Amino acid sequence: MTNAKIEAVLFDWGGTLATWHDISLHETWLAVSALLDKENAEELAARLVAAEGSVWRRSRDEHRSSTLEEVCLLAEVVMTPAALAEYERQWDPHTVLEPDAVDTLQALRDRGLKVGVLSNTIWPRRRHEEVFARDGVLDLLDGAVYTSEIAHTKPHPEAFLAAMQAVGVSEPSRCLFVGDRLFDDVWGAQNVGMRAAHLPHSAIPAEQIGHTEGTPDATVQRLSELVPLIDSWNEAAA
């Protein structure tokens, strides 16, 4: 049976569109905590790290989403505007796009394909859109789903279906999902009937690896490799 033509390409964000970085959550939260309560910064940071860890374990095991607000609530920490600004400043260097991201998204749009993002995130839409606007890709997205706004995280089917709906495509077999995680991204996408491409450059922490690893329909070393790949698939399907 011939595969359907690809009409939409949906991307993971961290480790896929944005370059993977190893980050010390403790150092990040410590910088934030120092602005909240300098004397008790170590204790606050430990509580925030534990709270964030708990919501990511829940995401892995139950595929339920969370928010930055919930992390603070669990840690019994009240975020201030200055502390939030420091949190975002700490993360800024780790939000940099892959060098070929803009050209790849533009090439996909030029071919008439829909382009979207589905990110497991505790950050609000505002923060992601600031990053995408800064890097010149916000206008190249037909839709985006941030799990901080919905009930489920990848690999839950509802997350993928929401992303598909966001870009206006109704048939999963006409979607390609691109991600760096064999559980969340590859297995999750294939589970709803999408094809999946794997970008294998992220050092996924052992505690974030789920119960199943999918076998990707394609493995790409650079985002730019997606364009000829999709061209070849769509020519074969024509």
> Is 69 part of a structural domain of the chain?
yes
Same domain, 120 and 189: yes
Domain hosting residue 46, numbered range = 25-93
Averaged pLDDT, 56-71:
96
> pTM for the full model?
0.94
Same domain, 202 and 119: yes
d(CA 225, CA 201): 14
Q: What percent of the chain has pLDDT over 70?
A: 99
> Does residue 136 register a pLDDT over 70?
yes
- Banded model confidence at residue 21, pLDDT cuts 50, 70, 90: confident
d(CA 194, CA 117): 14
Tokens of 135: 């890097």
pLDDT at 1 (0 to 100): 36
Amino acid at 34: A
Same domain, 151 and 187: yes
Q: Are strands 114-119 and 195-198 parallel, antiparallel or unpaired?
A: unpaired
Task: Decide: 226 and 220 in contact? Cβ < 8 Å.
Answer: yes
Domain's final residue, options 48, 71, 93: 93
Mean pLDDT in the chain? 95
Same domain, 104 and 191: yes
Averaged pLDDT, 25-30:
94
> Does residue 96 register a pLDDT over 60?
yes
Same domain, 79 and 193: no
Count how many residues are written for the chain: 238
> Does residue 113 register a pLDDT over 90?
yes
Q: How many domains does the chain have?
A: 2
Same domain, 88 and 175: no
- Banded model confidence at residue 111, pLDDT cuts 50, 70, 90: very high
Task: Decide: 129 and 93 in contact? Cβ < 8 Å.
Answer: no
CA distances from 53 to 80, 159, 170 (A): 21, 21, 35
> Does residue 76 register a pLDDT over 90?
yes
Domain's final residue, options 93, 109, 138: 93
> Is 2 part of a structural domain of the chain?
no
> Does residue 91 register a pLDDT over 70?
yes
> Does residue 2 register a pLDDT over 70?
no
